[in-house]
Structures are given as structure tokens and as C-alpha cells.
Amino acid sequence: MDFALNEEQRHWQMKARKFAEEEIRPISLARDAIEDPSETFTWDIIKKGSKLGFRTMAVPKEYGGHGTDYVSQALVMAELARGDSAISKTFSQCWKWSHLIAAVCSDEQKDRFLKPFIEDDTYVLGKGGTEPTAGSDNRLPPPDDPKAGHKLRAERHGDEWILNGEKTFIANGSIAKLFFLDVRTNPNVSVKEGSTLFMVTRDTPGFRHGKVFNKRGWRFYQNAELIFENARVPHANVVGEVNGGGKKPGAAGDTSGGDIFGDLELAANALGVCESACELAMQHARTHKQGGRPLVEQQLVLLKLNRMYMLTEALRSFVLRVAWEHDMKIHSANAGLAMNFSEEAIQTVTELGLEIFGAAGGVTSPEAEKLVRDSLIWTHLAGDNVQRMRVSQRLVRMAEAIERKARETIPELTAAE
């Protein structure tokens, strides 16, 4: 097995490391400490990162992007997250949706949306699925209940659709120029049969963002409500088929874009946070003295460091393997499993890190405490029951497929029954 990075992967890794150290880290704590959640964000860091390619790296070269492979993307996410996990996510949130435009949109849509995305350093993307009464339902859509799942309604009037309803918790909600939206185009059937993916620009008449949420962690990241009051969206902004439902691009299980990015990005981002926690804890344990001796001479502290490094290295191996598998077009449930694992890793590692700081962690050394707050985001996004069920269902489907294949290639198996 060859674990070496190629020249291009190393180049992206080093560029991201330098940017994280010189530009992100110096602003991370100060941004996190701003009280008003809509003020924690700054365009300055996004513009600088965009000029280095961190916003557009997932777009294929033929459309003006950098066409990076998944290994490079995982390396960059982790490096940027070492500087600040939420700033890293603001960039990577653009990757899966810009990649999706390139993968599934019509040429006319690519022309209208990819061009400005590439050219404008402030063109950021978002995706709206969640609503006040539809969160988990959207991830594991109940098969045949019309009442379940998202309800943002669209009705067709000639060449336009009129949208009414709202989305909530939407990432980049107050800053994105373009959103992918899960919209109900037939409320009388299940979401699998009656929903459609739309692209909606910020300047759409009747659309505005509402409150920006005041989160404990990832404070730089702008999660907001999206409000639609007779919003008028051209039919030309429909992605794929009307009522494409469960088969719509970017839906769970679709390998053309959204799914792998979402899973891999959380795991890779967690890796950066874990690295940061290890680095901080090691530095503190080597330099802080108790009873006349540095903390690293205390066996219990060493055991904590051991667990932190062990989980971090296990996560690194998992993340890079998943990224490599997807570059090799080997699709499995591993990206989902890595995402689930990243929740356990990041929360254990950051909490052990905070323990090593003792009281200072929450008082005079806020870095360690910030990492714990950031890690709590993984509970909702990576490791709750629904995310684990979604991945487990995929494992079952794969086991069934393997069995079917075996029966096709070894007919005696079927004959013996």
C-alpha cells in the first residue's frame, strides 16, 4: 500500500496549512467571541481564501475550477479546520453544491450559475432542506406519508413557480448568493414522489433570510432562516425532473455529489479539530507544571494524550482511505461510517484536551474550550441516531447486493435452497 501524497495533493495541503496558520488562526478566537451571531462572519477571510482556490477547488477544470481530487479536498478541509473549523466549513459548503452544478445541471444552468460562482470571490452557496417541522424526516424520508418531510410549497404559474414557506438552520443562509432547495411540488404524495430540487438566487423577489442563529459552536458559520413569501422562481431553475423526489440530484445515496461531500467533509473537518486539540494539549502538558513537574510526567495525563493521538490517527487513516476510495470510484458506506466515527473521535479528543488544561481551559486558555463547543455540532450533523440509521441502511443494501451478485455468479447457491 502506498500512503504517499502526490505532488498536487502535497501542494494543496501546504497551501492550506500556510493560510490556516497565517490568516485563519489569528482571527479565529476573536471572531468566535463576538456576541452578535450575524457579526462573527467576515468577507475578508473568504475573499483571501477564494483567491487561493479554496472556494472553487471542487469545480472541474473545464468549467474554470481546480478539479481537485477527494484526497486533496480532505487534506485542505483538515488543514483549514486546524485554523478554525467553521471557516473551513464555509469554504467546503461551496464544494458539494458547485460540484453538483457541474455534475447534473443543464449546460444553460451551468452557464448561468457556474460562471459567476467562479468569477466572484463572494459567491457562496447553500442548501435548504430543514424546516421547523422537518429535520430528520428529510434525511430518512418516510416512504408513504404525505404529511412527513419538508413542506416549502411551490406551485407552477406558466414559466414561474411561486414558493411559500420557510427553511431553518440553513448554512451560509445570510450570505449565500445561490441556494439549492428541497421544495414540495406535490403535497398529496410522499416527499419521495412529490418534491423537486430548485436553485434560488438571493435576489429572487419574495425571498429573504430571517434570523441568524446564535450557536454555541461554529460561531463564524452563518446558519439562518430562509423565508419565502410568494417568491417567484423561473422554471429554468429546476434541477433534474419536477417531482424527481427521492431520485433528485444530491439526495441521500446519490453519488453524483452531495452525499459523499457531506460525509467526507465532516470527517475531514473533525480531523483538523482533533489535530488542533492534540497540539494544544501536548504543548500545555509539556510546559505547565504541577507539584514542580510538567504535566507530561503525570501518568494519567500521558494516558489522556495517548487516547487523543490514537483516535486522531485512526480518524486520519479513515478519512484518507475514504477519500482515496472515492477517487478510485469505489463507492461504499465507508464515507458515512467515517462521518459517524468522527463524532466519537472529535468529542472524546476535544474533551480530553479540555481536561488536560484543567480550569485554565475554560478561563485563561479559551482555545481548548472553543474546540469542545465546535465539536458539539457533530452530534446533530454526524452522529445522531438518524445519521447512523442512514448509514446502516446503506450497509444493509450493500450486503443484499453482494448476496445477489454471489447468487448470479454461483448459481449452485440458489439451486441449493
Ligand X SMILES: Cc1cc2nc3c(=O)[nH]c(=O)nc-3n(C[C@H](O)[C@H](O)[C@H](O)COP(=O)(O)OP(=O)(O)OC[C@H]3O[C@@H](n4cnc5c(N)ncnc54)[C@H](O)[C@@H]3O)c2cc1C
Single out the segment in contact with ligand X by CB under 6 A; choices: 14-22, 248-256, 257-265, 381-389.
381-389
Single out the segment in contact with ligand X by CB under 6 A; choices: 314-322, 352-360, 377-385, 401-409.
377-385
Q: Is 67 in the site for ligand X (CB under 6 A)?
A: no
Residue nearest to ligand X (CB): 135
**Burial, 315: exposed, middle or buried (Cβ in 10 Å; 0-12, 13-18, 19+)?**
buried
Q: Of 282, 248, 298, give the one whose Cα is nearest residue 368.
A: 282
Of residues 285 through 314, those in contact with ligand X by CB under 6 A are none
Cβ nearer to ligand X, comparing 59 with 125: 125
Q: Is 49 in the site for ligand X (CB under 6 A)?
A: no
Of residues 208 through 247, those in contact with ligand X by CB under 6 A are 218, 223
User: Considering only residues 5, 34, 52, 140, which one is a binding residue for ligand X as defined by CB under 6 A?
Assistant: 140
User: Considering only residues 386, 392, 393, 395, which one is a binding residue for ligand X as defined by CB under 6 A?
Assistant: 386
Q: Is 135 in the site for ligand X (CB under 6 A)?
A: yes
User: Considering only residues 56, 73, 88, 130, which one is a binding residue for ligand X as defined by CB under 6 A?
Assistant: 130
Cβ nearer to ligand X, comparing 136 with 393: 136
Cβ nearer to ligand X, comparing 53 with 135: 135
Name the one residue in this structure whose C-alpha cell is 443494501. Answer: 397
Q: Is 96 in the site for ligand X (CB under 6 A)?
A: no
Single out the segment in contact with ligand X by CB under 6 A; choices: 15-23, 130-138, 284-292, 319-327.
130-138
Cβ nearer to ligand X, comparing 113 with 218: 218
* Number of chain positions touching ligand X (CB under 6 A): 20
User: Considering only residues 83, 128, 245, 383, which one is a binding residue for ligand X as defined by CB under 6 A?
Assistant: 128
Residue 94: phi and psi, rounded to 5, are: -75, -25
Q: Is 88 in the site for ligand X (CB under 6 A)?
A: no
Q: What minimum distance in Å lies between the beta carbon of 127 and ligand X? A: 5
Q: What minimum distance in Å lies between the beta carbon of 32 and ligand X? A: 14
**Burial, 289: exposed, middle or buried (Cβ in 10 Å; 0-12, 13-18, 19+)?**
exposed
User: Considering only residues 31, 96, 112, 127, which one is a binding residue for ligand X as defined by CB under 6 A?
Assistant: 127
Of residues 154 through 173, those in contact with ligand X by CB under 6 A are 169-171
Cβ nearer to ligand X, comparing 279 with 384: 384
Q: Is 129 in the site for ligand X (CB under 6 A)?
A: yes
Q: Give the interface with ligand X as residue ranges (CB under 6 A).
A: 126-130, 135-136, 139-140, 169-171, 218, 223, 377, 380-381, 384-386
